[in-house]
Amino acid sequence: ERARTNNVKLPDKFELGFDEFARTMPSTAVAALLGQELSQVQMFINILLDAKVDSITAFRRRPLPEERGASPTPTPSPGQRVATSAKPGGTPTPKLIERNVIEVTFKAAPGAARKVMNEITSSTSQFFIIRTLYVHNEKDKGPPRSRTGAPTPTPSPQASPGQSPAAALNFIVGTEHIEVSATVEMLRFTF
């Protein structure tokens, strides 16, 4: 409903990344974690919708380790620190942070994309970390140099305020749209 109001095109059969749970219920053990992740994803999608991006072209949620039935101590990915450490007595301390990762691709005007990035980084209700960000302009080349080198005509002083200048302004930058792809971590503090 919110996407329709803000004229944002969503992918077909968009289930917020929880496609497998549209057909079957999750196990009871993982349902609470999935509920928390669903609220995180909804906050993220609402940021995109409120910024009025043109469309969300791809959205993928990485499954939680608990969904796959993995052990509670997953192996860290390269470059990721492990939040658990062993006490002198030999018992590990509990993890303080859980990471949920999503990957999103959307198309927007540059101003809307800036608004999305600012909202993600300054969110007070959820801690988001943008891990990777790719921005691709829909126009690969700039305007031809022959058009940009022409002198701009100055309006005549006798022109009345209601008249338009002889030549319309041709904006060179800022009228294009961009495609943004990002990998975002949504942190959940467990203390």
For the chain, give the DSSP string: -HHHHTT-B--TT--TT-GGGGTSPPPHHHHHHHHHHHHHHHHHHHHHHHTT-SEEEEEEEPPPTTTTT--SSPPPPTT---S--B-TTSPBPPPSEEEEEEEEEEEE-HHHHHHHHHHHHT-SSSEEEEEEEEEEES-SS---HHHHTSPPPPPPTT--TTSPPSS-----SSSS-EEEEEEEEEEEE--
Residue 118: its pLDDT value, please? 93
pLDDT surpasses 90 at 115: yes
Share of the chain above pLDDT 90, in %: 26
Residue 14 pLDDT grade (very low, low, confident, very high; cuts 50, 70, 90)? confident
- Average per-residue pLDDT for the chain: 77
In this predicted structure, the answer to whether residue 64 has a pLDDT above a threshold of 60 is: yes
Domains recognised in the chain with CATH numbers: 2-71+92-140+173-189 (3.30.70.60)
Average pLDDT value for residue range 92-116: 88
